[in-house]
Amino acid sequence: MALKIALSLLLGALTLAARPSQKPLPEAERTRWFRDAKFGLFIHWGPYAVIGRHEWARHRFQVPQAEYDKFARAFNPVNFNADAWAGLAREAGVRYVVITSKHHDGFSIYRSKVSDYDMEITPYAGDPFRLLADACRRQGLRFGFYHSIMDWHHPDYVPKRAWEVADPKGGNLPRFIDFMKEQLRELLTGYGDIAVVWFDGEWEHSIEEMRSDEVYDFIRKLQPNTLINDRLYKRAPGNRADFGTPEQFVPATGMQDPSGKPILWESCVTINTDSWGYNKYETEFKTERDLIRMLIEVVSKGGNLLLNVGPAPDGRIQSEFQTRLRAMGRWLKVNGEAIYETSASPFARLPFFGRATAKGSNLYLHVFQWPAGGVLRVPGLDNQALSARLLGQPAAKLPVRREGADVLISLPAAPPDEIASVVTLTLDGPPMVRPYVIRPDAQGMLRFGAESCEIETRFEQRAKKENFLGHVFVTRWIRPDDIPTWSFAVPAAGRYRVEITYGAAGASKGTGFTIAAGAAQASGAVDNTQGDWVFKTFPVGEIQLAAGEQTLQVKSAARAGVNAMNLERVTLTPVK
């Protein structure tokens, strides 16, 4: 080992000197590709795939090191075809790939000169990391790696797993960080341009212990343009990292630095329930509809989506992942113009079920539910609207008219894509919008439809909006922390009758809810509508509203695992 390290230090110094590493780009340009790419593929792969039960299997099953090593030695991806993986990534429409160089188990899926716990101990002769790096470049994809700081194998790493080591002392963290740097050197000097270094497993140490600044500068010296994620800095606000990493959820309003300025971020999400590594017996996968809409939502909030696959130990990517990735690619082939190189939606909320993105003078309206009456309302636009078209149907111009500050677009009878159809609205310049606020209609009534709420949440697997047969509703509402929220304004104080419309059956009955409008509140309990998709309207009392702009929220006392209700809308009707 010591000899290996000395040798590698020498080699490292040589490669560093010999390698005509990246020309440093000006700071503002360094992140441009990431800003434009929007969609990446995450790959978790290593000996845990042999077990086929989550990448934390060694910890969760408390597998002793010697036992686990048997799985590591059995890791033999005979069916691994790097070109097939990169081809699939390309077909999916991702622009970059991030693969685990080393996960928490400490095993390196490349040929490391400073570690004996790598491909060397497997029957497989190649270096999967190198093969994939090369294949990605052939496909025009950027390539980066995930690297775990926590290491359950390295003798110097502390803390040890308490369930495994009786006296969890020993180890030498400073020496471990030296080792980590040598692995980073190998990865950053031996495999061409590295787009991203994606740290994880940071929670056992402070920024000082991890020597984050030193590691950061070290990486930048080897590859000045590489992007570094925020876990090296424990996701601390205002850190030096290039982007934030929300895990398994989409932040309701994107991400901002402590001063409120938007920052780059990337939601990483599994296609299956929650296993990043291969899970042989998984039966639940997000639908292509959920995945496409999630990509759109992420992009409309200024982020990237890093969608994960955990390949099987033999090197194959299971068909459930392949079909979904290909479906996303097909959608992107038609609608990619509204995703790549766009910026976040200029609207915080919209009156229809869908999302918006923007590029130059184009506003892209991603419509998930064709609005009743076939008219799409684009609220509060201070531009001139020049023309509207559906992506994929460039010849057909859609009629556009104005109603006050709003632009109304007449849509054809049926949506070209049931998941999301994109209308390009071309303006006379970059969009200038007024915040969308719900106002009383001609009868003084206020309507809060599920389509126009934003769901605030702090959790993974949050409540989501769905639509079927003309209904748009909030569903999978299993946590009280998920709070549908609207903005509205009333010109004068007044009394209102509150009504709520939902579908609910079975266990939902009795779930308490509160409708909070400004300072007023009305509460009720969910009734049984005899079907989740049988929508019925119930009175919830009366409230007194103050004049002015305010928010309306529906809070539920959802119990874990039970959908509170399928919420379609709340209405406030003036009491005469």
Look up tokens 């894509």; give the residue: 417
Q: Phi then psi for 501, rounded to 5 degrees? A: -120, 125
Q: Which 251-270 positions form the footprint of ligand GLC (CB under 6 A)?
A: 268
Tell me how far, at minimum, the Cβ of 81 lies from ligand GLC, in Å. 24
Q: How many residues appear in the chain?
A: 576
Token pair, residue 407, equals: 């632009």
Tell me how far, at minimum, the Cβ of 275 lies from ligand GLC, in Å. 9
- Residue 242 in the binding site for ligand GLC (CB under 6 A): no
Residue nearer to ligand GLC on the CB measure, 60 or 221: 60
DSSP annotation of 510 reads T
Tell me how far, at minimum, the Cβ of 56 lies from ligand GLC, in Å. 6
Residue nearer to ligand GLC on the CB measure, 38 or 104: 104
Binding-site size for ligand GLC (CB under 6 A) equals 7
Residue nearer to ligand GLC on the CB measure, 138 or 161: 161
Helix (H) or strand (E) holding 236: none
Question: DSSP string spanning 93-132?
Answer: T-SEEEEEEE-TT--BSS--SS-SSBGGGSS--S-HHHHH
- How far is residue 192's CA from residue 112's CA, in Å, rounded to a whole number? 16
Question: DSSP string spanning 38-106?
Answer: -EEEEE--STHHHHTB-TTHHHHTT--HHHHHHHHHT---TT--HHHHHHHHHHHT-SEEEEEEE-TT-
Q: Which 160-219 positions form the footprint of ligand GLC (CB under 6 A)?
A: 200
- How far is residue 541's CA from residue 392's CA, in Å, rounded to a whole number? 48
Evaluate the omega torsion of the peptide bond into residue 159 and state whether it is cis, within 30 degrees of 0.
Answer: yes
Residue nearer to ligand GLC on the CB measure, 56 or 340: 56
- Residue 352 in the binding site for ligand GLC (CB under 6 A): no
Among 52, 55, 265, 310, binds ligand GLC (CB under 6 A): 55
Nearest to 437 by CA among 497, 485, 499: 485
Residue nearest to ligand GLC (CB): 276
Tell me how far, at minimum, the Cβ of 103 lies from ligand GLC, in Å. 6
Among 91, 193, 247, 499, binds ligand GLC (CB under 6 A): 247
- Residue 276 in the binding site for ligand GLC (CB under 6 A): yes
- How far is residue 500's CA from residue 305's CA, in Å, rounded to a whole number? 34
- How far is residue 470's CA from residue 467's CA, in Å, rounded to a whole number? 7
Residue nearer to ligand GLC on the CB measure, 56 or 124: 56
- Residue 43 in the binding site for ligand GLC (CB under 6 A): no
Tell me how far, at minimum, the Cβ of 203 lies from ligand GLC, in Å. 8
Tell me how far, at minimum, the Cβ of 347 lies from ligand GLC, in Å. 30
Site string for ligand GLC, 460-479 (x = CB under 6 A): --------------------
Look up tokens 């994960």; give the residue: 308
- Residue 39 in the binding site for ligand GLC (CB under 6 A): no
- Residue 151 in the binding site for ligand GLC (CB under 6 A): no
Contact set with ligand GLC (CB under 6 A): 44, 55-56, 200, 247, 268, 276
